[in-house]
Every structure is written in C-alpha cells, then in structure tokens.
Amino acid sequence: MPASAFTLNDLRTVLLEAAGADDDVDLAGDILDSDFEQLGYESLALLETAGRIERTHGISLDEEALAEARTPRRLIDLVNSHLTAATA
C-alpha cells in the first residue's frame, strides 16, 4: 500500500470540488457501497472526479475500469491499486 492511501474522505473532497453534491444526498453518511447514480453523480461528474484524482496523485485510471467502479468503495480500491503500482 502506498504511504498515503486514497480514502473515503479524499473521495468526498474530490466529489464536492468536481461536481458539488445533490441536496438530497448526505456524503457524510455510509456511502461506500452506494451507486454513484444514487448519489447524484453521473458519468460526466465522475470523469471530472477521475481527472482531478489523476492530476493530484500522478496516476492514470483506465476508462473501462473507471466505468466499472460504480460505487465509492470500488473507485477507492481502483485508485489505491494504481497508487500501489506507481510506487512499486
């Protein structure tokens, strides 16, 4: 695992910066396994989120893998796997 793993709090921050938040969604709640669409984030918002993560952490996320990361848990795992590979 990299020295600084990407966390749920990191993702919350990026989501808010990239696309804001739906007034009906509590990002502070238990959202790990919620589908991004249920959270109010469509594909364009997720692309912006991924772009910010890539720039901030110096990684490149595969578009197909990104499309399959439909929940915060899966996106966090994807980012951390890339961070681990980048430091190996």
Q: Is residue 32 part of a domain?
A: yes
Joined together, the tokens standing for residue 46 give 């997720």
pLDDT band at 1 (very low <50, low <70, confident <90, very high): very low
- Which domain CATH number covers 34? 1.10.1200.10
Cβ within 8 Å of residue 69, ≥6 positions away: 75, 77, 78
What pLDDT, in 10s, does the model give residues 11-46?
A: 999 998 887 776 777 888 899 999 999 998 998 889
Residue 43 domain boundaries? 8-87
Q: Is residue 82 part of a domain?
A: yes
Q: Which residues of 40-64 are buried (b: 16+ CB within 10 A; e: fewer)?
A: bbeeebbbbbbebbeeebebebeee
Chain center to CA of 41: 11
Of residues 53 and 19, more confidently modeled: 53
